[in-house]
Amino acid sequence: MYRIERDRSRFREIVRGKLRKDLRRYLSTSELLGRRGEHTVSIPVPQIELPRFHFGENKKGGVGQGPGEKGDPLGGEAKEGDGAGAAGEHEGQHVMEVEVELEELAEMLGKELELPDIQPRGERHLLAEGGRFTGIRSHGPKSLRHFRRTFKNALRRTIAAGEWDPAEPRVVPIADDERFRMQKSCPQPDSSAVIFHVMDVSGSMGREQKDIVRIKAFWIDTWLRSQYKNLEVVYIVHDAVAKIVDQDAFFHLRESGGTKISSAYELVLQLVLDKYRPEDWNIYPFHYSDGDNWSARDTERCVTLLRDELLPRVNQFCYGQVKSAYGSGQFKKDLDSALEGNERLVTASINDREGIPEAIRAFLGKGR
Amino acid sequence: MALSSTLPPRLREESRRIEEVARAFGLDFFPVVFEMLDAKDVNAIAAYGGFPVRYPSWRFGMDFERLEKGRTYGLSKIYELVINNDPTYAYLVRTNTDMEQKLVMAHVFGHADFFRHNLWFAPTERNMLDRMASHGTRLSRAIDERGADTVEIFLDRALSLDNLVDPFLPLAEHLRRRKRETEPASHAERARRNLEALIDPRSAAKQAEPEPLSGAVTLPTFDVLGFLLEKAPLERWERDVLRMVRAEAYYFMPQRMTKIMNEGWASFWHSRILTSGVLAESEIVDFADCHSGATATASGQLNPYKLGIELYRHAEEQGYDLFRLRRAHNDTSFIDELVDEDFARTNQLFLFGKNARTGRTEVLDRDWREIKEKLLQDLSWGGLPQIELVEENHEGRGELLLLHRHDGRDLQLMHAAETLKHVARIWKKPVHLLTLEEGQGKKLTCDGETIKASDAVVPGAKPASEAG
C-alpha cells in the first residue's frame, strides 16, 4: 500500500534524524552492542509522540478484575492506571526498536567523525565467482530441475509424436525432456579485509576498560564492514600467552596474570603468513591494552616484530591504550619512540568513554 | 493489491446468513460492506484509524511500524476493524479461519447497530470515509502550496491539541438543533429555508451537517480547538488544517466515550448470534477458545470486552431493556446505572494502587462503592483531563488562560508544558495554565518558546489537604 509506505518512510526519516543527533551518545555507550544482525542494527529510540494534556503519575492505580485479597501484590506487569477503556492514554516512554542498515549507520558514523573512505591498497582486485542460477543445461540434480522448461519439452515431444489427447491431457516427461538450472559464473571485483581485535586480558584490565574496547570494536567493525564486501574478524586475547577466541569470549573473558604482548603479535603474524596473506587481504590489527608489558625485553621483541614483519604486511596497525588504575602506560611511549614516523602505525590513548570517538577518528581517519 | 478485496462466495453467503440472524434478534444497522485484505493491508488501514485514505502524517507510519512488528513477531494480530460510516465498512483478514471470519462478522453487526443507534453517535459524520479522503486532498494541496515541512509542523501542533474538545458539545448541539427543527418554525423561517434549498441544495445539506461549528464560541469553554479555529490569527490553510483536526477529533470522541459499551454490545451479540445455529458443531470449541481469549482479564487491566459483556448480561438478568440501554448511555452513565455490589463481587472487581510503604502495586480494596467511584472517575470526560478556556484577554493583554479542572489526578506536567507551547504558537501570544501539583496550585506560563512555572491560587480547587 503506497500511502502507508510514504508515511512510514517519513517516520523513519524522523527517527534517523534523531539518531544522527544522538550519535555521539551512542558512540560512548554500550547500548548498541549485541543488537547487530547480519545486515542491520536494531536501535532503541524513545518513542516520539506528540505532547498532549494527560494524567501523570499520581493517577494512583485503577480498577482491576480477578482473584486476590486486600494487600496481595498484582501479578505481572500491571500498568499504572491503564484501567477502563482509556488504553493508549499513556503516551509515556515506550521504547521502540528501529532497524537501521549497517551501511547507513556507518555512513552516519563517517559523517559524524569525518572519516574518509578507505583507498584501495595497490592495484589488487580479487575476482570472485558470482553465483547466479541463470543458465540451463540438460543434466543436473533433481533439486534444480526447471519444471516449466521440462514440461514444455515433454509437451512438445508428446504433440510431435501424435500422442496428445486433449480429452486426457497427460504429459509424462522422459529423461531427454528434463532441463536443469545452472549456475552461471560472472566474475566480480571483490575486496576482502580481516580485522584482528587483540585484547590484553591481564589482571589490570578491568570491566570498564573492557567495555571501552568493546564499544570501539563495535564501531570499527561497523565502519570497515561498510568499506569491504567481505570482512572477517578474528578475536585474540592474551596475557602471557595468546589465543584465538570467539566473539562472546572476547568480550567476557577475564584472565589474570602477567602480560607478554609479543605472544599476541606472534600469533597475528602467524595468521597473516598462513591464512590471511597480504596479497589477498586488507589487514587491520587492533591491539588494546593498558600499556603494562611484562618486561622491557618483551617490548623490544614487539617493536622488532612490528617493524620487520607486521607493519610491511598490514594496511594499518592500531594500538589503543586504555587507561587503567594499574597500568603504567609505558608501552605506548615505547612504541611511539621506537617506531616514530612509521605511517602504518597509529597509537591512541583512551582515558575514558568520552575519548572513544576521538580514538576511532585517530584509527580510521587516515583512509588506509 | 493483487487479490480482490471482495468476499469469496462462501463467506458472502455466511455474511448474509449472519445478517439475517442479527436482524431477527432486533439489531438494525446501515448496510455493512465487508472487505477482505491481507494482514499487512489491514494493519495499514488500522494505522489510519480504519480509513483507507487520510492525510499524510508520520504518526500513521509509526503506528503501522508498531502493528507490523507485532504481526511479524506473532505478538499481536488484528481481528476486526470496523468504521462508523454509512455504509459501515469492516475489514476481514484473509488468513483468518472461517470460524474467525464468522465471529468477526457477527461482532461487526453488533458494532454497526451500536454506531447507528447509540445517542452519542447521532451527531457524528456518517460519510466519514469521503470526508477523510477529502481531508487528505486538502492537506496535500496545502503541502503543494506551502511545502511539506511547514504543513507538517503546523499539523503536529494542531494534533497535539486534538483532545481539547468538549465531549458533550456535539450531542448538546444536535439535540438543540433537532428541537428547533421539530418546533413549528415561523412562516418567514420556513420560507427562508425553502428558498435556500431551492437556490443551492448543497448549502441546505451543509446546514444539516452535524458539525458543532455553528455560532460564536463563548467563554468559558472546553472546546478550545473551536475557539482557536474562530479567533486565532491564522492563515487560511492553517485554519483549514485546524478545522479538519477538530472535525476528526469530534468524530472519534464518541468511540472513546463508549468503548466498554460498544465492545460489550458487539461481544454480547456475536456470542448470541454464533451460538444460535450459525456455527457448525465442529467450530464451537474453537469459537469458545477465541471468545474467551478476547474476554480474558489480566490483573491490573480492565478488558472492555469482558466488562462490557458482563454488564449487559447483568442488565438482562435485572430485566433491563438492553436496546434502550445501548441507545441512551455512554460508559460513565452505563456503569453508574448498572454496577452494584452483586456485580462487583461476581466479577471480582478490585481497586489497586501503589502501597506507599512497600512501593509495590497491590490490591487495595474490594468495596464496591470505592470501585465504582474510581471507574466513573477514570472513564469520565473520555478518560481525559478537563481543560477549560476561561479567559481570552487575561490581565488585559489578550493572553489565554486555561484552567485544569483538577479532580485529584495531576497532569503530566512536562507534557502539559510542551502542549502549552503549541497553544501559544497557534494563539501567537502567551498562554497560561492553572493546575495543581500535589495539592499546590501552579501556574504555567508559555510564550511559545519558554515555560515559566509559579505557585498560584487556583480557583475551584480542593484545599491542599484533600487534594491528590
CA–CA separation, B18 vs B31, rounded Å? 13
Burial of residue A353 (CB within 10 Å: 0-12, 13-18, 19+) is: middle
- A367 or A194: whose pLDDT is higher? A194
Chain B hits for A10, CB-CB cut-off 8 Å, are 56-58, 61
Residues B410, A62: C-beta atoms closer than 8 Å: no
Contact A14 B57 (CB under 8 A): no
**Statement to judge: residues A181 and A212 lie in one domain:** no
Q: Which residues of B touch A77 (CB under 8 A)?
A: 300
Burial-class residue B233 by CB neighbours within 10 Å (0-12, 13-18, 19+).
exposed
Do A48 and B62 make contact, defined as CB atoms within 8 angstroms? Answer: yes
Q: Do A33 and A181 share a domain, yes or no?
A: no
Q: Which residue has the cell 522422459?
A: A174
Distance from CA of B63 to the nearest CA of A (A): 9
Amino acid at residue number A188:
Q
Instruction: Please tell me whether the interface predicted TM-score (ipTM) of this complex is above 0.95.
Output: no
Domain for residue A41, yes or no? yes
Which is more confident, A84 or B248? B248
Query: Are residues A51 and B301, on separate chains, in Cβ contact within 8 Å?
Result: no
Q: Identify the band that residue B198 occupies on the pLDDT scale cut at 50, 70 and 90.
A: low
**Identity of the residue in B161, B354, B366 whose CB atom sits nearest the CB atom of A70:** B366
| Predicted local confidence at residue B199, as pLDDT | 63
Q: At what angle do helices B284-294 and B98-117 cross, to 10 degrees?
A: 50
Return the minimum-mean-pLDDT range out of A248-257, B112-121, B446-455: A248-257
pLDDT band at B265 (very low <50, low <70, confident <90, very high): very high
Contacts of B352 in chain A (CB under 8 A): 61-64, 74, 78
Q: Is residue A308 domain-resident?
A: yes
Which pLDDT does position A94 carry in this prediction? 56
Q: Would you say residue B2 has pLDDT above 50?
A: no
What sign has the CA pseudo-torsion B284, B287, B291, B292? positive
Cβ of A4 within 8 Å of Cβ of B48? The answer is yes
Interface residue A208 vs chain B (CB under 8 A): no
Q: Is the pLDDT of residue B210 over 70?
A: no
B374: chain A residues, CB-CB within 8 Å: 61-63, 83
**Looking at the domain assignment, is residue A138 inside a domain?**
yes
Cell of A125: 582486485
Mean pLDDT across the stretch A343-359?
87
* pLDDT band at residue B396 using 50, 70 and 90 as cut-offs: very high
pLDDT of B82 > 80? The answer is: yes
Distance CA B420, CA B414 (A): 10
Same domain, A203 and A342: yes
Angle CA(B445)–CA(B449)–CA(B453) in degrees, nearest 5? Answer: 25
Same domain flag for A198 and A255: yes
**So what's the pLDDT on residue A105?**
85
d(CA B248, CA B131): 9
Q: Give the start-to-end residue ranges of the domains of chain B.
A: 9-118+258-307, 128-182+213-257, 385-455
pLDDT in tens, A191-213: 788 899 998 888 778 778 888 88
Chain A residues close to B413, C-beta within 8 Å: 56
Q: Do A63 and B379 count as a contact with CB atoms less than 8 A apart?
A: no
Confidence of residue A113 (pLDDT cuts 50, 70, 90): confident
Question: Do B430 and B424 form a contact (C-beta atoms < 8 A)?
Answer: yes
Whether A211 and A160 map to the same domain: the answer is no
Which one is predicted more confidently, A299 or B24?
B24
What distance in Å separates the CA atoms of residue A123 and residue B345, rounded to the nearest whole number? 83
Max Cα–Cα distance, chain A, nearest Å: 93
Q: Is the dihedral of CA B54, B55, B56, B57 positive or negative?
A: negative
The alpha carbon dihedral of B124, B129, B133, B139 has a sign of positive
Q: Which residue has the higher pLDDT, B402 or A345?
A: B402
CA distances from residue B33 to A60, B82, B105 in whole angstroms, order as listed: 43, 10, 10
| A71 lies in some domain | no
Same domain, A275 and A322: yes
pLDDT for B253 beyond 60? yes
Q: B66: nearest CA in chain A?
A: A96
Residue-wise pLDDT tens digits, B404-439: 999 888 999 999 999 999 999 999 999 999 999 888
- Say if residue A22 is in the same domain as residue A156: no
Residue A93 has pLDDT above 60, yes or no: no
Burial of B227 (0-12, 13-18, 19+ CB in 10 A): buried
Residue B425 cell numbers, joined: 504558537
Peptide bond into B87 cis (omega under 30): yes
Q: How many angstroms from the chain centroid is the CA of residue B104?
A: 21
Query: What average pLDDT score do residues B132-140 get?
Result: 95
pLDDT tens, A17-29? 888 888 888 888 7
Among B317, B307, B316, B322, smallest CA distance to B375 is for B307
Q: Are residues A206 and A329 in the same domain?
A: yes
pLDDT of residue A68: 80
Residue B163, helix vs strand vs coil: coil
Q: Which residues of A touch B301 (CB under 8 A)?
A: 64, 78-79, 82-83
Pairwise CA distance, residues A77 & A55, whole Å: 20
CB contact under 8 A, B301 and A82: yes
Interface of A with B in 37-76 (CB under 8 A): 47-48, 50-76
| Final residue belonging to a domain, choices A150, A169, A187 | A187
User: Given this model, what pLDDT does residue B128 score?
Assistant: 95
Sign, Cα dihedral of A304, A308, A312, A314: negative
d(CA A301, CA A263): 10
More confident of the two residues B48 and B212: B48
Q: Check residue A131 and give its pLDDT.
A: 64
Task: Identify the pLDDT of residue B288.
Answer: 93
Residue B345 sits at φ, ψ, to 5 deg, of -70, -50
Cα angle, residue B107 at apex, residues B101 and B113 outer, rounded to 5°: 135
CB–CB of B53 and A52 under 8 A? no
- Please check whether residues A16 and A99 belong to one and the same domain: yes
Closest residue in chain A to residue B253, using alpha carbons only: A86
Residue from A2, A47, A50 whose CB has the most chain B CBs within 10 Å, to mutate = A50
Shortest CA gap B227–chain A (Å): 17
Q: What cell does A270 get? A: 602467524
Task: For residue B356, list chain A residues with Cβ-Cβ distance below 8 A.
Answer: none
The pLDDT of B268-273, averaged and rounded, is 96
Nearest C-alpha of chain B: how many angstroms from A71?
Answer: 5
Same domain, A28 and A134: no
Q: Please, are residues B76 and B66 in contact by the beta-carbon 8 Å criterion?
A: no
| A134 & A249 share domain | no
Q: Which residues of A48-87 are buried (b: 16+ CB within 10 A; e: fewer)?
A: eebbbbbbbebbbbbbbbbebeeeeebeeebbbbbbbbbe
Q: What's the maximum distance between 2 C-alpha atoms anywhere in chain B?
A: 74
A77, part of any domain: no
- The Cα B258–Cα B331 span in angstroms is 5
The answer to whether residues A155 and A171 touch, using CB atoms and an 8 Å cutoff, is yes
Strands B88-93 and B32-37: parallel
DSSP state of A55: B
* Burial (CB count within 10 angstroms: exposed 0-12, middle 13-18, buried 19+), residue B424: buried
Contacts of A84 in chain B (CB under 8 A): 259-260, 302, 304, 307, 331, 375, 378-379, 383
Q: Assign B82 to helix, strand or coil.
A: strand
Instruction: Kindly list the residues from chain B whose CB atom is less than 8 angstroms away from the CB atom of residue A50.
Output: 59, 156, 159-160
**How far is the first Cα of chain B from the last one, in angstroms, to the nearest whole number?**
53
A248, exposed or middle or buried, with CB in 10 Å at 0-12, 13-18, 19+?
exposed
List chain A residues with CB under 8 Å of B40.
1
pLDDT at B229: 94
Dihedral Cα A349, A352, A357, A360, nearest 10 deg: 40
Instruction: Assess if residue A215 is contained within a domain.
Output: yes
- The whole-angstrom distance between B182's CA and the closest CA on chain A is 36
Mean pLDDT of chain A: 80
Is A93 in CB contact (< 8 Å) with chain B? Answer: no
pLDDT at position B208, please? 40
- Pairing relation of β-strands B431-437 and B440-446? antiparallel
What is the Cα–Cα distance from B387 to B228, expressed in whole angstroms? 14
- Give the closest residue to B416 by CA, choosing from B388, B435, B392: B435
Out of B44, B362, B378, name the one closest to residue A71 (CB): B362
Q: Give whole-number Cα distances, A223 to A115, A363, B32, B296, B372, in Å.
A: 9, 11, 56, 49, 59
- DSSP three-state, residue A259: coil
DSSP-derived 3-state class of residue A282? strand
CATH number of the CATH domain containing A338: 3.40.50.410
Q: Residue A15's pLDDT is what?
A: 85
Q: Which domain holds residue A157?
A: 126-187
Amino acid in the structure at residue B43: N
| CA dist., res. B223 & res. B54, Å (int) | 24
Contact status, residue B140 vs residue B152, Cβ threshold 8 Å: no
The arithmetic mean of pLDDT across residues B350-377, rounded, is 87
Reduced to 3 states, what is the DSSP secondary structure of residue B354?
Answer: strand
Nearest Cα residue in chain B from A95: B66
A62 contacts B302? CB cut-off 8 A: yes
- Tell me the nearest-neighbour CA distance from B283 into chain A, angstroms: 29
Structure confidence at residue B468 (pLDDT): 36
Torsion of CA B296, B300, B303, B304, to 10 degrees: 160
Residue B108 binned pLDDT confidence (cut-offs 50, 70, 90):
very high
Nearest CA in chain A to B258: A85
**Does the distance separating the beta carbons of A11 and B61 come in below 8 Å?**
yes
Which value, in Å, is the radius of gyration of the alpha carbons in chain B? 24
Tell which of B5, B37, B58 to mutate to test the A interface (max A CBs under 10 Å).
B58
Share of chain A above pLDDT 70, in %: 86
Domain count, chain A: 3
Tally A–B CB contacts below 8 A.
Answer: 222
pLDDT for the residue numbered A78: 40
Residue from the list B352, B366, B416 with its beta carbon closest to the beta carbon of A62:
B352
Is the same domain home to A137 and A238? no
Could you tell me the CA-to-CA distances from A97 to A47, A126, A218, B78 in Å, in that order?
A: 9, 38, 19, 21
pLDDT at A363 over 50: yes
Residue A185's pLDDT band (cuts 50, 70, 90): low
Q: Which residue out of A9, A55, A63 would a mutagenesis test of the B interface target, given it has the greatest number of B Cβ atoms within 10 Å?
A: A63
The mean of the pLDDT values for chain B is 89
Checking if the pLDDT of A81 tops 50, the result is no
Q: Which of B56, B299, B404 sits opposite A78 (nearest CB)?
A: B299
Which of A10, A58, A76 has the CB atom closest to B58's CB atom? A10
Closest CA to A210 of A90, A151, A290, A269: A290
User: Do A278 and A190 contact (CB within 8 A), yes or no?
Assistant: no
How far B207 CA sits from the closest chain A CA (Å)?
A: 32
- Tens digits of residue pLDDT in A251-279: 777 666 777 888 899 999 999 999 888 88
Helical axes B169-182 vs B236-257, angle rounded to 10°: 90
Using a CB-CB distance cutoff of 8 angstroms, which residues of chain A are in contact with residue B58? 7, 10-11, 13-14
Q: Confirm whether A80 is domain-assigned.
A: no
* For chain B, percent of residues with pLDDT exceeding 90: 73
Q: Which residues in A lie closer than 8 A to residue B422 (C-beta atoms)?
A: 51
Task: Please say if the pLDDT value at position B328 is more than 80.
Answer: yes
Q: Nearest Cα to B291, choosing from B277, B319, B272, B313?
A: B272
Pairing of β A230-238 and β A192-200: parallel
Within a domain: A65: no
Residue B366 has pLDDT above 70, yes or no: yes
Instruction: Say how far apart CA B428 and CA B424 lie, in whole Å.
Output: 5
Query: How near does any CA of chain A get to the CA of B130, in Å?
Result: 16
B35 to each of A2, B8, B42, B99, B266, how far by Cα in Å?
A: 18, 10, 10, 17, 19
* Most A-contacting residue of B59, B162, B355, B363 (CB-CB within 10 A), to test interface: B363
What percent of chain A has pLDDT above 90?
12
- Pick the most confident of A127-141, A151-165, B117-131: B117-131
* Most confident of the ranges A180-184, A332-336, B74-78, B441-445: B441-445
pLDDT at B320 over 90: yes
Count Cα neighbours of B292 within 13 Å in the Cβ-side half-sphere: 5
